[in-house]
A = this chain, B = another copy of it.
Amino acid sequence: MTMIDGQMVATQIKQQIAKQVNELAELGVTPGLAVIMVGNDAASEIYVKNKQQVATDLGIEANTIKMPADTTELAIIKKIQILNADPAVDAILVQSPMPTHINEQNIQAAIDPSKDVDGFHPYNLGQLVTDANEYYPVANTPRGIMRLLKWYDVKTTGKLALVIGRSILVGKPMAAMLTNADATVITANSQTKNLDELIAIADIVVVAMGKANAIDAQKMKAGATLIDVGINRLADGTLVGDVANKNNTNLAFATPVPGGVGPMTIATLMETTVELAQQHVAHGND
Contact = CB atoms under 8 A, between A and B. Distances in A.
Interface of A: 105, 121-127, 129-130, 132-133, 157-158, 160, 166, 168, 172, 175-176, 179, 182-189, 191-194, 197-198, 201
B172 A129 contact: yes
- Leading 8 A-B pairs by shortest Cβ distance: A122-B126, A125-B126, A126-B126, A158-B191, A184-B192, A182-B191, A186-B186, A123-B123
Given A122-B122, A166-B179, A175-B187, 17 more contacts: A105-B132, A105-B133, A122-B124, A122-B129, A125-B125, A125-B126, A126-B126, A126-B129, A158-B191, A158-B192, A182-B189, A184-B187, A184-B188, A184-B192, A185-B186, A186-B186, A187-B187
A227 to B, nearest CB: 18
A105 B126 CA distance: 11
Q: By CB atoms of chain B within 10 A, which of A133, A158, A184, A193 has the most? A: A184
In the assembly, how many copies of this chain are there?
A: 2
A187 B189 contact: no
B130 A105 contact: yes
Contacts of A157: 191
B179 A189 contact: yes
Contact of A121 (B126, B175, B193): B126
Nearest to A188: B184
A189 B131 CA distance: 15
Nearest to A192: B184
13 contacts: A122-B122, A122-B124, A122-B127, A125-B126, A126-B126, A157-B191, A179-B187, A179-B189, A183-B191, A184-B188, A184-B191, A184-B193, A197-B201
Q: By CB atoms of chain B within 10 A, which of A168, A187, A188 has the most? A: A187
Nearest to A120: B130
A197 B133 CA distance: 33
Contact of A124 (B124, B126, B168, B197): B126
Contacts of A168: 129-130
A163 to B, nearest CB: 10
Contacts of A124: 122, 126
Q: By CB atoms of chain B within 10 A, which of A122, A132, A175, A193 has the most? A: A122
A189 B184 contact: yes
Nearest to A180: B166
Contacts of A158: 191-193
A129 B192 contact: no
